[in-house]
Amino acid sequence: MLTVQRRQAHLAGMLDVLGFDIQQTTTLESITQDVVRSSEIEGERLNMDSVRSSIARHLGVEKTDSVASDHYTEGVVQVELDAVQNCNEPLTKERLCDWHAALFPTGRSGMYKITVADWRQGEDPMLIVSGAVGKERVRDAIETSELRLDSVLKKAAFWNSHAQTPLNERQRKIINRLFDGFDGPLTSSKWAKICECSPDTALRDINDLIGKGILAKSSAGGRSTHYELG
């Protein structure tokens, strides 16, 4: 447990030395990843840009590329933020009902009514954080946080170094996707599809980023040509 405590203290120290802007970015990106990954486990694929924009609005973080969110995404974000910001509050039946209401405002999922069972005598969901199982979960959470923090720091450092670099919204969108975990290799055809632009526009955007040293072309040619962060 001592090792876990040391790693936890190290992680907290890393966050303390960050500037306020990067701390905000770290929080925003970490919660965004949590919402998207947790939803994937439940079989729901949420739009990361939409989730990020929703969280940014709730946290009061300014974003120029805000994306509209549907009701379900807003509900998931509200539940996640409540769980994070009020992590020391007891997990009561009333709180669980509030979470259900955020996700299912009518109290139903399709044709089925959403219910919350009563806690059985002696069952306390907070006991999960104690004992060997709790320690293992804390350790896993710290390792995940360390990996996410490293990713967020790299992303923040990139945007800090390119604060004055002229980039259009399509380029910013794809760069963020690459830092967040792009699905497969980046090709000009994927660029055109994601940004809803012509192939010629996609190629111009890509070549512009290559010229600025932001993207690099893969060694594979022809149909296998793809691009990655330089």
More confident residue, 130 or 62: 62
Least confidently predicted of 39-43, 80-84, 208-212: 39-43
Confidence of residue 122 (pLDDT cuts 50, 70, 90): very low
Q: Model-level pTM?
A: 0.51
CB 209 within 8 A of CB 173: no
CB 94 within 8 A of CB 102: no
Q: Which two tokens stand for residue 66?
A: 């805000």
Reported as a single tens digit per residue, the pLDDT across 135-169 is: 555 455 556 656 666 777 788 788 888 989 999 99
Reported as a single tens digit per residue, the pLDDT across 46-70 is: 888 888 888 888 877 766 566 777 8
Determine phi and psi for 124, rounding to 5 degrees.
-125, 110
